[in-house]
Amino acid sequence: MYSKSAFPPLPREFSGRWNHKRYSVIRPLGQGANGAVYLATQAGRKLAVKIGTDPLDLLMEVNMLKSVQQVRDVKIGPLLCDVDDLLIDGKPCTFYSMEYLEGERLDRYAGRVGREWVPVLAVQLLTRLEILHAQGWVFGDLKPENVIVTHGDKQVRLVDFGGVTKKGNAVRQFTEEYDRGGWQAGDRRAEASYDLFSLAVITIRLMTPDEQWKKFTREGRTVARLCDIIRENDGLYPYRMPLLKALQGIYKDAAAMKRDMVTAIRLRSSSGRKKERGSAAGMVLGGLFVASLLTLAGTLYCFWF
């Protein structure tokens, strides 16, 4: 059996075998490694329907969606609506439906509205992560493709719960480019700092031009490379402290990183653009990077600037 067996296309109209809800498919929304998502209507409302290659994988995802409790004021992900089977060519196929989030993927959104939005979006993400972590879960597969900025209220929402993992277990699903293990910065045990690492890489990635990102990561992924990018990027430099601490796994929870990010945003908007940055500071920073890598000297170096 191939691990990537193709899944059959969804019929235009179908009903669930157990709950008898009737769906009309409008269009495909996207396809991932383990499933496809379609936009559909059911009883007059728009929903997203997901079918997967492996029914058990899909059910595990549903289990996570159900387990993560949504908080009233801050929505984390889509609400689960229905789990059922449909018949495709006489064969039962499991699907689930969820709230359809109308919006834009994080990377496309940031590309359109401008890079200076990225730290604000990162703070929004940290609020969601904080809630998720408090409930004992880690998101795992945090990447721009799994974050939607909704039209209208401009709130970030997490989609694709395939990587959501109980704290202490091994992360169920991840993407190398944002994975702590892939950057040789630690293991894949689900803990708050795993998500915070991914968030720091996302922040750096979204504020770095594609060309530069490719150039920097061509020779392998290490935290030292990420430090180089931060040092050379005026947009990232003001956020060096929270980013570095997240990359080094110093933060134990999302709240602490959020505080530091908010502080950095405030400082940045109250002081002039490039004022704080001189070549001497850059050199000091370079030395400190080495020192911090050598000694892992905790947070002390942050107060040198």
Partner 1 sequence: MKQPTLRQILLVTDGCSNAGISPVAAASLAREQGITVNVIGVIDRHEMGEQGEREIREIAEAGGGLSDIVYPTQLAQTVQMLTRKAMTRTIHQVVNKELKDILGDSTLERLEPEKRVQVAGMVDELGERSSMEVVMLVDTSASMKTKLPAVQQAIHDFSISLRSRSGESRMAVCSFPGKHQHLDVRIPWTDQVEKAHQLTGSLAVSGITPTGPAIVEAIALFEHVSLPAPLADRYRRESGQRAEDDSEGYLEDHVF
Contact footprint for partner 1 (CB under 8 A): 1-4, 18-19, 33, 54-57, 59-60, 62-63, 66-67, 83-85, 92, 94, 166, 168-172, 176, 181-182, 184, 187-189
Rounded-to-integer distance, Cα 96 and Cα 58, Å: 8
Q: Which residue's CB is nearer to partner 1, number 33 or number 291?
A: 33
Cα gap 250→227, rounded to integer Å = 15
Q: What spatial distance separates the first Cα and last Cα of the chain, rounded to whole Å?
A: 57
Q: Please state, in angstroms and rounded to a whole number, the distance separating the CA atoms of residues 199 and 235.
A: 16
> Least CB distance from residue 15 to partner 1, whole Å?
14
Which of 62, 65, 91, 90 has its CA nearest to residue 78?
A: 65
The single residue listed with the structure tokens 């979006």 is 121
- What residues have CB less than 8 Å from 23, skipping those under 6 apart? 13, 14, 15, 16, 40, 41, 42, 47, 49, 97
H or E segment and range at residue 215? helix 210-217
Q: Which residues are catalytically annotated? A: 141
Task: Give the integer Cα–Cα distance in Å for 12 and 183.
Answer: 43
The secondary element (H helix, E strand) that includes residue 280 is helix 279-295
Q: Is 47 or 148 the residue whose CB approaches partner 1 more closely?
A: 47
The residue (of 64 and 288) whose beta carbon lies closer to partner 1 is: 64
DSSP bridge pairs for 138: 165
Q: Pick the closer one to partner 1 by CB: 167 or 268.
A: 167
Query: Residue 183 CB, nearest distance to partner 1 (Å)?
Result: 11
CA 243/CA 302 separation, integer angstroms: 11
CA dist 82 and 22 (Å) reads: 11
Nearest-approach distance from CB 117 to partner 1, in angstroms = 30
Query: In terms of CB distance, is 94 or 208 closer to partner 1?
Result: 94
Closest by Cα among 169, 179, 159 to 136: 169
**6 vs 280, beta carbon nearer partner 1:** 6
CB of 3 to partner 1, least distance (A): 5
**Taking CA 64 as the corner, what is the angle to CA 59 and CA 51, rounded to the nearest 5 degrees?**
35
Least Cβ distance, residue 167 to partner 1 (angstroms): 11
Q: How far is the CB of 14 from partner 1 (least distance, A)?
A: 15
